[in-house]
Structure 1
Amino acid sequence: MVYQKVLGQLLEDARHAIEVTDEELDEARRRRRLLAGAMRGAFPGSTIYFNGSVAHGDANTPLTDVDLGAKLSVEDAKGYGPGRRNALPLMERARQAIRSELGEEFPDLTVKIEGQRRAVLVRFGDPVTPGQPDFTADVMTAIPHPSGMGLYIPNMEISDRWDRADPLTHTKLVLKALEDTDRVFARTVRLLKHWNKKHSKPLCSWNIKALALECIKEPMPLIDALEGFFTHADEALKDGPTKDPAHVAGPIPLNMLRGDVRRRLRTARDYLKLAQEHEAEGRPLSAQRALSRVLPEIVPDVDVTDEEQGRIRSLFSMAAAVGPGLAYGATPTRAWAP
């Protein structure tokens, strides 16, 4: 299709504009390794796992945080769980280990557990991306679930103090999607996270990925992956929130009313379709302008006045050639939304 040549290049440029740099990734991974070493020291026999954007290959710049956890051994987990002890003693143990292992290299390091819902919050006092205020890490102390499926992770805001989740399976699912789609999955998610950020954050990042796992399953042009996501997500949310892909945790909550989320998804879908129509009909500037409504800033807006005037002149010329009325039914004039 002709439109893929121009829209495809715009999307390639857009994803490169927000893609995390190798320097950011290298330093984030180094700090993650330091934290993993501290957790192994604090909890011998634990399994360290990585999750979040760095682990999933969809991090954008500026890079501001990293996520990891320790699945504790049966011995270390003894006595903890719903109806038993909460995670605060485990989090304190993690805090002491992190301070001991990283404090010398990062003199402004702070490690917080007070008021934290799920994880130990590490503030390095030293950003990974120049110009950013800081770089942080969420470090989880998780215990095995008795069923062998998933984990109990802390949730200090509910009476049980523990939730079920399966971050290890989540990461496996995402990494498989990267392989199956030749990394189109991650590239699409990067763009979707930018769309989400610029349109009032209707979805959390994990909800974006969970919905994308359902519809981006093979290599495809980015424009098709984006349109497919918005179409699928709108339909999938019709009957309720997204289910956990690992079939362990509860539904993924939305950041706003479901009707408002769906309206944003449909608006994005419609602009993508309009962009494709414009490009297929030889109006690349109008196509770019429509795409910029979905991905502002990373797809520059353009002035389409001359192109639209040329289209109108062409319609009038057609009308003069074929007779009154016929040309008006061929190609409707579209007004731009504010």
Structure 2
Amino acid sequence: MGHTHDILDDIRSQIDAHAEPLAQARERLALVRSTAEAFPGALRTYASGSLAQHTFIHPVGDGDGGLVLDRRVYPGLGPDGGGETPADISAELCGLLGPAVREVYPNARCGTSKRGPKLTFGQPVDGQDPTVDLVVALTRKDAPGLWIPNLKNDTWEASDPERHVKLFTSGGASLQRTRRRVVRLLKAWNKQYSIPGFSSHNLTVWAWEFSEPGMGMAVALNTVLTKAARRVDSGNATVDPAGVSPNVRLLVPRDTASRRLRTAAAGLEEAIAHDDDRDAVLSALSKVFYKYIDDPSPSSLAQKISALRQPGPLSTAALGLGGPSAAIPTVRSYGIVSEGR
């Protein structure tokens, strides 16, 4: 392991979920799931998303799960039944969950998200107050996966969140660990942008597809970024690995997504190529994780600004200017009062 791995580990220490909020997210989801099992026609509940896949980053947001209903108890519900939409059944489930959860969390409230009831708890831990999203799901009659709600449109959509968890947590212990770390790093990279380019699910699919046994964290991250960039450049779709949902969508235009991926892949490639030079690795990775790493090279903007703030004369070389080196005297800007005033 070289400097690239060590610096990526340093980033991980900044982005990994804090223990107490993460534990609260698990406890809250467990409470909501156990309560939902009393709902009429309940077949089972499940955990999904970042919590089940161990890929949460700081801050901890929502714990995802689902309640699978028996279609025989609700013959009118869903595309395989009488076509009834999910709005009413979601409201009924909320009516059960809200009062029960308030017995443990007095400030809890039950509203709805896109997929079903959303529980808020009003009891922060470490400045975070994890929520729970519970999908109301139906078994499908003649196809794999589940029908899950789209409450924005009051319709049902095909998905297989249980299968996703099995796939994304598959493989040997080493591969699982590397994949989880890569997903967390990808999430942190993606969230640096004011408009993220990719959903967490998209990043997780790529990490599952492109990470291979024997890869270290740095190589795996570089491989995922490089192969994802090639796919986006080619115009080929990223398909649902469970074979149930529609193709995974980008959140930004294709050219923007491609540029971000290629830039990040180039930064990782440069870091790995100079793995024995810590400053070179920092400089390369600062182009990827720019909110987590400062570029130590004298040519960086941050270094130039820092140099300008130092007392005493500066050299043109310190500012990265060409030509013969010369001293530049510092001056006090007009109208700026002295320190201590």
Q: TM-score scaled by structure 1?
A: 0.82
Q: Deviations over 1:139-189 (max 9, x none)?
A: 111000112400000113447x11000000000001104746041000110
2:268 pairs, out of 263, 267, 272, with 272
CA shift, 1:289, in A, is: 1.4
Count of residues in correspondence between the two structures: 299
Separation of aligned partners in 2, 1:265 and 1:78 = 46
Number of the residue aligned with 1:224: 219
Query: 1:1-338 to 2 correspondence within 5 Å?
Result: 4-82=1-79, 84-113=83-112, 116-128=113-125, 130-132=126-128, 134-158=129-153, 161-177=155-171, 179=173, 181-199=175-193, 200-237=195-232, 238-280=234-276, 283-304=277-298
Number of the residue aligned with 1:316: none
What letter matches 1:203 in structure 2?
F
Q: Is the 8 A contact 2:21 2:130 kept in 1?
A: no
Which ranges of structure 1 fall in alignment gaps of 5 or more residues? 310-338
Q: Deviations over 1:282-319 (max 9, x none)?
A: x421221111221133334324469xx9xxxxxxxxxx
Q: Is the 8 A contact 1:28 1:66 kept in 2?
A: yes
Separation of aligned partners in 1, 2:231 and 2:66 = 30
More helix by share: 1
Q: Which is worse superposed, 168-177 or 271-280? A: 271-280
Q: Is the 8 A contact 1:77 1:143 kept in 2?
A: no
Q: Is the 8 A contact 1:182 1:218 kept in 2?
A: no
Secondary structure of residue in 1 paired with 2:295? coil
What letter matches 2:236 in structure 1?
G
Separation of aligned partners in 2, 1:197 and 1:205 = 10
Provide closer, same or farther for how the CA distance between residues 250 and 305 of structure 1 changes in structure 2, counting only shifts above 3 A: closer
Separation of aligned partners in 2, 1:262 and 1:70 = 37
Provide closer, same or farther for how the CA distance between residues 255 and 178 of structure 1 changes in structure 2, counting only shifts above 3 A: farther
What letter matches 1:275 in structure 2?
A
Larger RCO, structure (CA 8 Å, separation 6 or more): 1
Secondary structure of residue in 1 paired with 2:92? helix
Secondary structure of residue in 1 paired with 2:119? strand
Separation of aligned partners in 2, 1:177 and 1:63 = 26
Q: Which is worse superposed, 199-208 or 211-220? A: 211-220
Q: Is the 8 A contact 2:55 2:184 kept in 1?
A: yes
Q: Is the 8 A contact 2:116 2:134 kept in 1?
A: yes
Q: Is the 8 A contact 1:66 1:137 kept in 2?
A: yes
Q: TM-score scaled by structure 2?
A: 0.81
Moved over 6 A (4+): none
Q: Quote the RMSD (CA, aligned, Å).
A: 2.3
Q: Deviations over 1:53-85 (max 9, x none)?
A: 111011112112110001112333421112611
Provide closer, same or farther for how the CA distance between residues 38 and 151 of structure 1 changes in structure 2, counting only shifts above 3 A: same
Which ranges of structure 2 fall in alignment gaps of 5 or more residues? 301-316, 318-341
Separation of aligned partners in 1, 2:216 and 2:179 = 11
Q: Deviations over 1:181-217 (max 9, x none)?
A: 0410001100000000013310000000111111113
Provide closer, same or farther for how the CA distance between residues 149 and 219 of structure 1 changes in structure 2, counting only shifts above 3 A: same
Separation of aligned partners in 2, 1:197 and 1:219 = 28
What letter matches 2:135 in structure 1?
M
Q: Which is worse superposed, 187-196 or 46-55? A: 46-55
